[in-house]
């Protein structure tokens, strides 16, 4: 398996990753959120082209096929000189979830984050059926469970 990051990702690999995106969005955020392909293509191509240097995108490739991806960005804390990397989404195709893909994507994100000067990585595990399994794996990889995420869904009220 190969992990390719940002500018090392080919057009073909980007297309394959984008093809997986609707399932990834559905798993991560619930099927109530509609996938916006234009926003997604804009962001991913911007990261790969170098237009958004504070953003990260990596793909896991096996036998010339993208089997997973991870996206994130660098953020600065509003009240202190402290930057951290935040993941946006990570996805591995179901039949490869027992592979090392997620671990290797996470390692690539860590290398990128350290290189960008981040002091930490934050991961949000939201509405996913795999959230606990992902959290357990992250803890095995040296992450700590801290805090609680709360949300208020406005639904159709807006």
Residue 10 lies in a domain: yes
CB 124 within 8 A of CB 84: no
Residue 79 lies in a domain: yes
Single pTM value for the model:
0.86
Residue 156 lies in a domain: no
- 4: its two tokens: 């390719």
Instruction: Report the number of distinct structural domains present in the chain.
Output: 1
Residue 151 lies in a domain: no
Digit-coded pLDDT (tens) for 31-88: 566 778 899 999 999 999 999 999 999 999 999 999 999 999 999 988 989 999 999 8
Collapsing DSSP to helix, strand or coil, 148 comes out as: coil
Q: What whole-number distance in Å separates Cα of residue 12 and Cα of residue 9?
A: 8
The CATH number for 115's domain is: 3.40.630.30
Identify the domain containing residue 63 by its residue range: 2-144
Angle between helices 131-140 and 101-115 (to 10 degrees): 60
Residue 157 lies in a domain: no
CB 85 within 8 A of CB 56: yes
- 116: its two tokens: 């960008």
Residue 95 lies in a domain: yes
Residue 158 lies in a domain: no
């Amino acid at each position: 398996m190969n992990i390719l990051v940002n500018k090392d990702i080919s057009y073909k690999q980007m297309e394959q990753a984008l093809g997986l995106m609707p399932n990834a969005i559905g798993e991560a955020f619930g099927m109530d959120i509609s996938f916006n392909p234009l926003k997604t293509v804009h962001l991913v191509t911007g990261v790969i082209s170098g237009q958004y240097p504070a953003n990260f995108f990596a793909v896991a490739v096996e036998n010339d096929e993208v089997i997973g991806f991870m996206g994130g960005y660098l953020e600065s804390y509003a009240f202190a000189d402290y930057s951290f990397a935040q993941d946006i989404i990570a996805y591995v195709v179901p039949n490869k979830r027992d592979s090392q893909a997620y671990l290797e994507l996470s390692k690539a994100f860590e290398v990128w984050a350290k290189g960008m000067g981040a002091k930490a990585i934050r991961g949000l595990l939201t509405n996913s059926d795999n959230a606990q399994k992902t959290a357990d794996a992250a803890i095995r990889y040296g992450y700590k469970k801290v805090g609680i995420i709360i949300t208020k869904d406005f639904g159709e009220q807006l």
